[in-house]
Amino acid sequence: MSDFIFNKQEYLRRINLEAPISVNYESLKALHRAQHLSIPFENIDICLGKNIPIDAHSIFQKLVKHKRGGYCFELNGLLLLALQAYGFEVRPLLGRVHLTGEPGGRTHQALLVTIDSQTWLVDVGFGAESPTIPIPFVINEVVRFEHRSFRLVSSELFGYMLQSNQGDTWKNLYSFDLSPVLDIDLKLGNHFTSTSPDSFFINARIAALPVPYGVLTLYNDRFKKVINGKEEQIFLKDDASYLSFLAEAFDIHLEANYKDLKAIPFNSAM
């Protein structure tokens, strides 16, 4: 909507951040970290068969006013709006997910932020694998924070690849290049992600929320909590208690009945 005005105070309350914001790295890191810890990654509206609009008004209404979560086009869309409102030089990127070993389409939105000629990859929308802080746009520089390590490497075919450390190996997360991304590109990626039968988000219930030194994740009926490398796992019941658990663990409160959710396989393995 052309008359949309970003409400900074509502946004800061939503992400539980009271620090003053300036156009510098410390504020960028604070906004990134606060939103990441406060707004869950989730696709539950897709599981309810809802349309997922990604215009500024719709994103702000859902994630801030209605206190819901979202996925990359919503989460990074919100952070993009916030950074623009505070005067940061920021633009969207589109990436290909490589988690299965095979590159996907350009269906992952991330952000590129430049401050005083220094540039960072910023991403709060990659679920449990999301970088926990901005990643300096420096090739082969390892970034460590809490329990996680990331790096950017060059890719002859795809431009750049974000990787995370997995013990003795580096895992490919997603690739991207620096070509311009238009609103129509984001709409096309979001349309596939939220409607295609081939989209991972159509065929599973997913949620993730980072916590200090760990992460909470949900895949269909399996909930995992990993803190400092220690893992706990439980399986949820196929009944209305599922909605109560979403509210308790992820602060996802639905105005829907359990039967409205798309059926999924229970006691699943992944």
Nearest to 42 by CA among 162, 217, 213, 224: 217
Catalytic residue among 32, 36, 98, 108: 108
72 is catalytic: yes
* Residues facing residue 214 across a β-bridge: 211, 227
* Beta strand residue intervals within the chain, DSSP E: 41-42, 89-97, 106-115, 118-122, 135-136, 143-145, 148-155, 159-166, 169-176, 206-211, 214-219, 222-227, 230-235
Catalytic residue among 36, 72, 98, 221: 72
Catalytic residue among 123, 147, 168, 238: 123
C-alpha distances out from residue 16 to 30, 66, 224, Å: 11, 15, 24
d(CA 47, CA 154): 36
47 is catalytic: no
123 is catalytic: yes
Number of H helices, E strands in the chain: 7, 13
Nearest to 53 by CA among 234, 212, 193: 193
Strand pairing of 148-155 and 143-145?
A: antiparallel
End-to-end CA distance of the chain, in Å? Answer: 40
Q: Which residues are known catalytic residues?
A: 72, 108, 123
